[in-house]
A and B are shown apart, each in its own frame.
Chain A
Amino acid sequence: MTAHSPAPQRAGFEPGLGSTRPRHTGVRLFLAATWARAYVRIAGSLREPTWIISDAIFPNLGMCAFVLLYRALGAPREYEALAVVGGVLTTYWINVLWGMGAQLYWEKQQGQLQLYFAAPCSLVAVLTGMAVGGLAATMVRSLVGVALGVWVFHVQLAAFSPWALAAVFVLTMVALYALGMTLSSLFLLYGREAWHTANALQEPVYFLSGLYFPIRSLGALGAVAAGILPLTLGTDAIRQVLLGHAARGLLPLPLEALALAGFAVLFLWTARVSLAYLETLSKREGRLTQRWQ
């Protein structure tokens, strides 16, 4: 049976007139959505004072332990700087894994994922917002690590170029958070509890990235890890900028910077492709929402 009975007309009804107010589209919509989603993380990180202690101070205790261990063993002083750089970058990896990789899964569990898919902004904009917000919020935590290294442990650094440091840091962050955007759709596609998936990835990446020791110590394994993990290359590149030859770098710095730029482009592309695939698959199989929705 068809349902084409005539619709009653309201008083003053003018058919076909919808919203005529101009809304942002294109790049402006992308930026508005990015800022709105970033705001959640930035406001959230500043709103709960107790989180500053639990999120910024406690995670740096592992780094302190390594510095004290190297000091107790009488290791060369540059090892302490290696551990501090590793400790600082650890905070970003944790954020990428838990704050990016697992986020879409949790959005779905909460029943909120469908609201993102039903909105006109792109999901890439939402994930970029998560990345920007997560990066800004994690900055506080990493600065605590830097402060501990400089003012508490008095780590010794070589004369370095702040521009080179900024460039390598930015490349590392873009590659790392683009990897996080890819992981977010992969976690959702994988379908298992994101909690276990993130846990399974956390410690092996710590190890393969050589966060608390020179990556060259891993030999061939280190070279392979550097080939697949932007965190490994980023850590090594930042150490080379800050410590020079004492960092015992894996590859020449320009080559590592180039590889990081390649990772950034590759992961941004895979993020876009995997999100598009996720959307298509989810719409076909009805996976965007929970059963109760």
Chain B
Amino acid sequence: MVSSSEARVPAVETRELRRVFKGSRGSPDVVALDGVDLRIEHGEVFGLLGPNGAGKTTCIKILNTLLYPTSGEARVAGHDVVRDSVEVRRRIALVSGGENSGYGILTVRECLWMFSQFYGVPSAEAGPRVNRLLAAVGLSDLAKTRINRLSTGQRQRMNFARGFVSDPEILFLDEPTLGMDVNAARELREFVTRWVRERAGRTVLLTTHYMAEADQLCDRIAIIDRGRVLACDTPAALRRSVEGGQHVELEVMGAPEGLSDVDGVAVTWGAPHPDRGTHTMKLRLPDGGRLPLLLRTLEERGVAVRGVSTRETSLEDAFIAIVGRGLDDGEAPK
């Protein structure tokens, strides 16, 4: 049983967490984390979203007791990751996308059993759990197949299953669907959702490059860049936090060259359609009611509108607004 005082302890908590890597051969030091404060409650699926080099993986490594922080404090299930690393390890598991766990000579079932033993799972419990996990990730038919005979995708699914074999209290998923095909990634996301809901208190900390994945899975998301948390809220609240409005895409013909705004609304242009000879015109209208007026203005200026589509503010829009660039983009122009 968990006491009421333990029940109030967050699953993950960091305070002023900072990690600096010493530069090699005269290069400057790299500040990977610069005062990160996080509080993740039990039962949450929490996302860390940020561009390459933002500090996501460094944060995960510290929380998994694989790296010391330079300063600050990190606690997992109430235990300090530096002083009580063994207590932390009893409660966590880590899955990194693209990792190579296990030994090629072992079968899939043997490999998962092996990892269960490193976590002290009694063998009588490990066997049935491995079978359930294999069924969940669609590898039951390959249970007796050697790992070195698996395809890359099958191996990734086995690695994914490995993270659940110890039935951790807190699961760290570091880019878990990296390189997976669309269907496999969707199945695994659904599995994570079911796993968290199956028993109260299970917690997931996810880092991902895929906005849709974060949007679908996470209860809350922290947007991190250059080692600092820039925003942290539910996906819906993050979307709302950026300037609202309606995103409009128009497929047009006959637009005057260099047209950069219509009635004061800034326009960005997509590539021309190779067959139809049309162009895509992108605008964000602060007020959805202005669309008919805009279409009339374009007609008056001799622009033929062949198609109209609208969408609401996405998580990606929010991310770009908060960070100043997209996940895979370079620096935003100053």
Query: A residues engaging B (CB < 8 A)?
Result: 1-5, 7-10, 12-25, 28-29, 32-33, 35-37, 39-40, 43-44, 47-48, 110-112, 114-121, 126, 283-286, 288-289, 293
Contact = CB atoms under 8 A, between A and B. Distances in A.
> Looking at B92, B113, B196, B201, which has the most chain A CB atoms within 10 Å of its CB?
B201
A199 to B, nearest CB: 23
B201 A5 contact: no
Contacts of B271: none
B169 interface: yes
Which 10 interchain pairs have the tightest Cβ spacing?
A16-B7, A18-B169, A3-B232, A24-B120, A36-B117, A17-B201, A7-B41, A23-B120, A44-B105, A119-B118
Nearest to B169: A18
Contacts of A25: 90, 120
B114 A37 contact: yes
A235 to B, nearest CB: 31
Interface in B200-232: 200-202, 219-220, 222, 228-232
A9 B77 CA distance: 18
Contact of A117 (B65, B106, B110, B170): B65
A9 B220 CA distance: 11
Given A13-B43, A112-B101, A114-B66, A40 B114 contact: yes
Contacts of A18: 2, 42, 77, 91, 169-170, 201-202
A23 B119 contact: yes
> Looking at B66, B125, B196, which has the most chain A CB atoms within 10 Å of its CB?
B66
Contacts of A39: 110, 114
A233 to B, nearest CB: 33
Contacts of A283: 65-68
A7 B220 contact: yes
Given A7-B41, A16-B42, A43 B110 contact: yes
A29 B199 CA distance: 25
B197 interface: yes
Interface string B57-72: 1000100111110000
A288 B67 contact: yes
Interface of B: 1-2, 4, 6-9, 21-22, 36-44, 57, 61, 64-68, 77, 86, 89-94, 96, 99-103, 105-106, 110, 113-115, 117-123, 125, 166-170, 196-197, 199-202, 219-220, 222, 228-234, 237
B109 to A, nearest CB: 12
Nearest to A18: B169
A268 B52 CA distance: 42
B105 A8 contact: no
Contacts of B106: 40, 43-44
B76 to A, nearest CB: 11
19 contacts: A1-B232, A2-B229, A4-B37, A15-B8, A16-B7, A18-B201, A18-B202, A20-B2, A33-B117, A36-B113, A37-B114, A40-B114, A112-B99, A118-B64, A118-B65, A118-B93, A119-B89, A119-B119, A120-B120
Contacts of B114: 36-37, 39-40
Given A1-B231, A4-B37, A114-B66, 13 more contacts: A16-B2, A17-B200, A23-B122, A25-B120, A28-B120, A39-B114, A40-B106, A110-B100, A112-B101, A115-B115, A118-B65, A120-B86, A121-B118
Main secondary structure of the interface of A (DSSP, over half): loop
A179 to B, nearest CB: 24
Given A5-B233, A111-B100, A284-B68, A14 B200 contact: yes
B125 A21 contact: yes
B67 A286 contact: yes
A3 B38 contact: yes
Contacts of A116: 118
A115 B231 contact: no
Contact of B120 (A1, A12, A118, A121): A121
A10 B120 contact: no
Given A44-B103, A284-B68, A19 B169 contact: yes
Nearest to A292: B98
A288 B219 CA distance: 31
A284 B220 CA distance: 31
A120 B79 CA distance: 14
Contacts of A24: 120-122
Nearest to B220: A7
B171 to A, nearest CB: 11
Contacts of A20: 1-2
Nearest to B37: A2
A126 B42 contact: no
A256 to B, nearest CB: 37
> Looking at A29, A120, A289, which has the most chain B CB atoms within 10 Å of its CB?
A120
B25 to A, nearest CB: 15
A49 B199 CA distance: 46
A44 B230 CA distance: 50
B38 A112 contact: no
Nearest to B13: A4
A288 B101 CA distance: 15
A288 B60 CA distance: 14
Contacts of A35: 117
A126 B300 CA distance: 77
Contact of A19 (B86, B91, B115): B91
B62 to A, nearest CB: 9
B49 to A, nearest CB: 12
